[in-house]
Copies of this chain bind each other. A is one copy, B any other.
Amino acid sequence: MPAFERHVFVCHNVRPADAPRPSCTSDGKSDLHARLQQLSREAGLGEKVRINKSGCLDQCEHGPTVVVYPDGVWYGGVRPEDAEEIVAQHPLAGRPVERLRLAEECINTKSCPHRSRD
């Protein structure tokens, strides 16, 4: 993969308030995305790392959700104030932030115990 060393996708999905599954944003905007983008640029990673908006990443019970490729590292419950630690450790130093990682048994599976039975 040339140029982008890491491609970070931040879920921007929003659902109606009465939907059975929760949303990663309340209004389709994400302070988390903005903060990750700002810090990434400030760290000089602008051309090596892309902080991308994404549609629903399907880990809704663990949102706000972020996935980093090509590593395939998933983060859940990420707050804007976590952005500094993520940028410093992951795209910059190649070390995922372990405390924010989704549990293996919760990723991409309908048998996740936290998942709504929708």
Complex contact A54–B57 (CB within 8 A): no
Residues on B with C-beta less than 8 A from A67 are: 7
Docked complex Cα distance between A96 and B104 (Å): 28
Complex contacts, A104 vs chain B, CB 8 Å? 2
A3 CB within 8 Å of chain B: yes
Total interface residues on A, CB under 8 Å, equals 26
Cα separation A108 to B52 with both chains bound (whole Å): 13
- Say whether, besides A1-B72, A7-B67, A108 and B53 are in contact (CB < 8 Å): no
Chain A residues packing against B (C-beta within 8 Å) = 1-4, 7, 9, 12, 47, 50, 52-58, 67, 69-72, 104, 107-110
